[in-house]
């Protein structure tokens, strides 16, 4: 096989109380990527979208992830990658993770599956480092494994897959710019013990609630008193979005990754659509352009098209 096309899903990281460790995959949107072997030991990037992302492999998230894969092998060839992004860069739903994961998963197929999923996440972290200046894997893990994942540790990398009941996400992407690096720089460096206890209690119970399929406990656990109060100031009408979504039947939600997208979880598709309508009503008053998505939580990570 010399060429393969993969679909790399959007992901929601943090999931309110799981800063830098918890995440889940969406079914839609996803990026389309075709990776093929080329005889020179180089990486070529071709974009078929209008986002103006760099084509210099050293400045491109997919490019640096592929370079990490080439460096880890004795490959005597390189890769060309054609990317059609549907996940808007900077939207907060794992656009850079999709590029990095799609590239390494596709290349791994072409070289006879030499790497495990865990190793592919490790390689893709080079992409997140370029995109945000930090080696976190909370979008990469669900992008490759699918479903809900918890990154227990990045050094060494340790990923836990979490069972979960049927859930639907409604996502609103207000088209304002929030740089992940800046949204990270504004966070407190130290956390009072009282807040830390509250947070790990909620994260532990959220993971247990997902595994048990206990929707009530999922709802009660999605609380964050450390990151959300700081970052939500960057998202106009965040409190109104949340209140209107809960009133429309969502069980909980918050900022997706470092924003600006906001996600809310619902038990049924019908409720997720009502939440989307509620989000529209709140945001149409702002004059800020926005997109919304409704998607089931995806069981699959990057998949062959």
* Catalytic residue ranges: 128, 180
Q: What is the closest distance, in whole angstroms, from the C-beta atom of residue 252 to ligand HSE in the complex? A: 17
- Write the CA distances from 122 to 41, 71, 304, integer angstroms: 21, 13, 20
Q: Which stretch binds ligand HSE (CB under 6 A): 11-19, 28-36, 70-78, 152-160?
A: 11-19
Cis link prior to 134 (omega < 30° from 0)?
no
Q: Which stretch binds ligand HSE (CB under 6 A): 39-47, 102-110, 114-122, 135-143?
A: 135-143
11 binds ligand HSE (CB under 6 A): no
13 binds ligand HSE (CB under 6 A): yes
Q: Which stretch binds ligand HSE (CB under 6 A): 73-81, 178-186, 233-241, 269-277?
A: 178-186
Among 5, 77, 88, 184, binds ligand HSE (CB under 6 A): 184
C-beta of 183 vs 203, nearer to ligand HSE = 183
258 binds ligand HSE (CB under 6 A): yes
Question: Which helix (H) or strand (E) is 272 found in, with range?
Answer: helix 269-284
Among 60, 180, 205, 271, binds ligand HSE (CB under 6 A): 180
Q: What is the closest distance, in whole angstroms, from the C-beta atom of residue 143 to ligand HSE in the complex? A: 11
Whole-number Å distance between alpha carbons of 293 and 291:
7
Q: What is the closest distance, in whole angstroms, from the C-beta atom of residue 13 to ligand HSE in the complex? A: 4
Total Cβ atoms within 10 A of residue 61: 29
Q: How far apart are the first and last CA of the chain?
A: 14
In sign, the C-alpha dihedral spanning 289, 273, 23, 237 is positive
- 3-state class (DSSP) for residue 225: coil
Question: Which helix (H) or strand (E) is 35 found in, with range?
Answer: strand 22-38
In sign, the C-alpha dihedral spanning 121, 94, 81, 176 is negative
Among 3, 5, 20, 110, binds ligand HSE (CB under 6 A): 20
Whole-number Å distance between alpha carbons of 239 and 235:
9
138 binds ligand HSE (CB under 6 A): yes
C-beta of 138 vs 276, nearer to ligand HSE = 138
Q: Which stretch binds ligand HSE (CB under 6 A): 118-126, 131-139, 240-248, 268-276?
A: 131-139
User: What DSSP assignment string belongs to 172-187?
Assistant: EEES----HHHHHHTS
- Return the structure tokens found at 11: 């992901």
257 binds ligand HSE (CB under 6 A): yes
The residue count for binding ligand HSE (CB under 6 A) is: 13
Binding site for ligand HSE (CB under 6 A): 13-14, 19-20, 132, 136, 138-139, 180, 183-184, 257-258
């Amino acid at each position: 096989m010399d060429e393969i096309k993969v679909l790399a899903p959007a992901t929601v990281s943090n999931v309110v109380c799981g800063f830098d460790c918890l995440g889940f995959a969406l079914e839609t949107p996803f990026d389309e990527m075709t990776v093929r072997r080329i005889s020179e030991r180089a990486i070529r990037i071709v974009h078929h979208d209008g986002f103006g992302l760099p084509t210099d492999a050293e400045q491109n998230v997919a490019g640096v992830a592929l370079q990490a894969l080439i460096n880890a092998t004795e490959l005597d060839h390189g890769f060309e990658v054609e990317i059609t992004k549907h996940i808007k860069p900077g939207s907060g739903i794992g656009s850079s993770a999709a590029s990095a994961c799609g590239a390494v998963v596709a290349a791994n197929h072409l070289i006879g599956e030499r790497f495990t999923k865990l190793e592919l996440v490790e390689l893709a972290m080079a992409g997140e480092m370029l995109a945000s200046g930090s080696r976190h894997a909370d979008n990469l893990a669900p992008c490759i494994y699918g479903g809900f994942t918890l990154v227990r540790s990045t050094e060494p990398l340790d990923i836990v897959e979490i069972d979960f009941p049927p859930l639907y996400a409604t996502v609103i992407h207000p088209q304002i710019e929030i740089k992940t690096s800046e949204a990270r720089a504004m966070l407190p460096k130290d956390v009072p013990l009282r807040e830390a206890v509250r947070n790990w209690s909620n994260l532990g119970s959220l993971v247990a609630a997902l595994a048990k399929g206990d929707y009530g406990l999922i709802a009660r656990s999605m609380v964050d008193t450390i990151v959300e109060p700081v970052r939500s100031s960057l998202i106009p009408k965040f409190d109104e979005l949340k209140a209107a979504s809960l009133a429309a039947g969502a069980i909980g939600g918050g900022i997706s990754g470092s924003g600006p997208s906001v996600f809310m979880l619902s038990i049924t598709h019908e409720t997720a659509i009502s939440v989307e309508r509620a989000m529209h009503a709140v945001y149409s008053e702002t004059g800020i352009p926005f997109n919304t998505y409704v998607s089931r939580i995806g069981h699959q990570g990057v998949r062959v098209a």
